[in-house]
Amino acid sequence: MLLKKNEGLTRHIDFKINSPNFIFALHSNHTVASHYQISMTTLELEARLDNLLSTAQIETADINIFAPIAEREECPICLIPLPINVKEITFMSCCGKRICFGCTCKHAVTDVKNGAPLDEHKCAFCQQIVKVTAKIHIKRLKKLMKKNIPKSFIQMANRYKTGTDGVLQSDTRVLEMYIRAAELGDTEAYCMIGSYYHDGVVIGHDMSKALEYDEVAAKKGCIPAHKRLAGFHGRNGNIRVCMKHLKVAACAGDQDSMDNLMNAYKDKLISKEELTQTLHAFQASNNEIKSEDRDDARVAKARFDEAEQTGSN
């Protein structure tokens, strides 16, 4: 229950996490599993999850959760940190690399200029054809999973989630994919597991475990985990903690968190000095991920979307 003085904050804390990879919605529509049954499989899953959590908690015991996010994964082509918006990153099922849309777009345009049909443009990293049938795509993912590439498990989880590309829908399999990805060191997988505890899908609803998973993810540098923790603490009236999580995410370049802090400043929840410092760090992080190719790709994408829109009207 929020205190009255925090009403302004709850009005403004409105996260828009548009990633297709995540089930981050703060107010999830998922129903708590009424079909939840204790089975060996569930018990086994829960034991594996408890083990995963305690190992990660030991690993991150000395990390300050509010420390700035230091490491950022780079695009293997341009060597610039990857964009924050996951829609601007392409996972290549051919080689398992995550490539920024600036490089993907530039490479595709060069291929087409050199006479390749649009459907046959090649991966900027390994030169294999990008667009393949669903069957080959799944075959490629399975090959990467055998090589223990963490993000290939996240990709496969997305197929299990929606039951696409010839994969049967299964929430249990989604969770298993996240567990494996987390075991292999994928930071965001911890946050996704947190959503499962939050929503009570497959495993029982357990808010304290959801928070513990989010905290581990946040300590490992996961921006969405900081945003979720900010939402949780904001709703529970822990405004200072909420602001601190928003600051970490904003300093790493997250636009939603920066917008929320601007509104928090208007509501006198943070000082001008705090806002200014955060804004500088936010701009520095965004300058770090800027490139001409990414700007060009953004313009090309906007043109493409506009053409699609006109075509469909």
Among 9, 53, 92, 189, binds Zn ion (CB under 5 A): 92
- Write down the least CB distance from residue 313 to Zn ion, Å: 33
Under the binding rule (CB under 5 A), the answer on residue 94 touching Zn ion is: yes
Rounded Cα distance between 282 and 73, Å, is: 17
CA-based nearest residue to 240, from 224, 229, 250 = 229
- Write down the least CB distance from residue 98 to Zn ion, Å: 10
Q: Which stretch binds Zn ion (CB under 5 A): 31-39, 85-93, 113-121, 184-192?
A: 85-93
Under the binding rule (CB under 5 A), the answer on residue 82 touching Zn ion is: no
Handedness of CA 74, 99, 96, 213 (dihedral sign): positive
Per-residue string for binding with Zn ion, 120-139, x by CB under 5 A? ---x-xx-------------
Contact 212, 218 (CB under 8 A): no
Among 9, 75, 242, 246, binds Zn ion (CB under 5 A): 75
- 3 state SS of 100: strand
Under the binding rule (CB under 5 A), the answer on residue 218 touching Zn ion is: no
Shorter beta-carbon distance to Zn ion: residue 78 or 248: 78
Shorter beta-carbon distance to Zn ion: residue 126 or 134: 126
- Write down the least CB distance from residue 157 to Zn ion, Å: 20
Question: In this structure, what token pair is assigned to residue 303?
Answer: 């043109």
Q: Could you give the dihedral angle defined by the CA atoms of residues 142, 146, 151 and 157, in that order, rounded to the nearest 10 degrees? A: 50
Under the binding rule (CB under 5 A), the answer on residue 156 touching Zn ion is: no
Among 13, 56, 103, 193, binds Zn ion (CB under 5 A): 103
Shorter beta-carbon distance to Zn ion: residue 94 or 189: 94
- Write down the least CB distance from residue 130 to Zn ion, Å: 8
Task: List Cα–Cα distances, 117 to 100, 124, 151, 293, in angstroms.
Answer: 22, 16, 29, 21
Contacts for 113 with CB less than 8 Å, ≥ 6 apart: none
Under the binding rule (CB under 5 A), the answer on residue 84 touching Zn ion is: no
- Write down the least CB distance from residue 122 to Zn ion, Å: 8
String of b and e for 139-158 (b: at least 16 CB within 10 Å)?
ebbeebbeeebbbbbbbbbb
Burial (0-12, 13-18, 19+ Cβ within 10 Å), 17? middle
Under the binding rule (CB under 5 A), the answer on residue 100 touching Zn ion is: yes
Under the binding rule (CB under 5 A), the answer on residue 141 touching Zn ion is: no
Site for Zn ion (CB under 5 A): how many residues?
11
Question: In this structure, what token pair is assigned to residue 90?
Answer: 């392409």
Under the binding rule (CB under 5 A), the answer on residue 144 touching Zn ion is: no
User: Which stretch of DSSP H or E encloses residue 245?
Assistant: helix 239-251
- Write down the least CB distance from residue 97 to Zn ion, Å: 6
Under the binding rule (CB under 5 A), the answer on residue 289 touching Zn ion is: no
Among 45, 77, 175, 225, binds Zn ion (CB under 5 A): 77
Shorter beta-carbon distance to Zn ion: residue 78 or 145: 78
Rounded Cα distance between 126 and 171, Å, is: 32
Shorter beta-carbon distance to Zn ion: residue 94 or 192: 94
Strand partners, 225: none
Write out the residues near Zn ion by the rule CB under 5 A: 75, 77-78, 92, 94-95, 100, 103, 123, 125-126
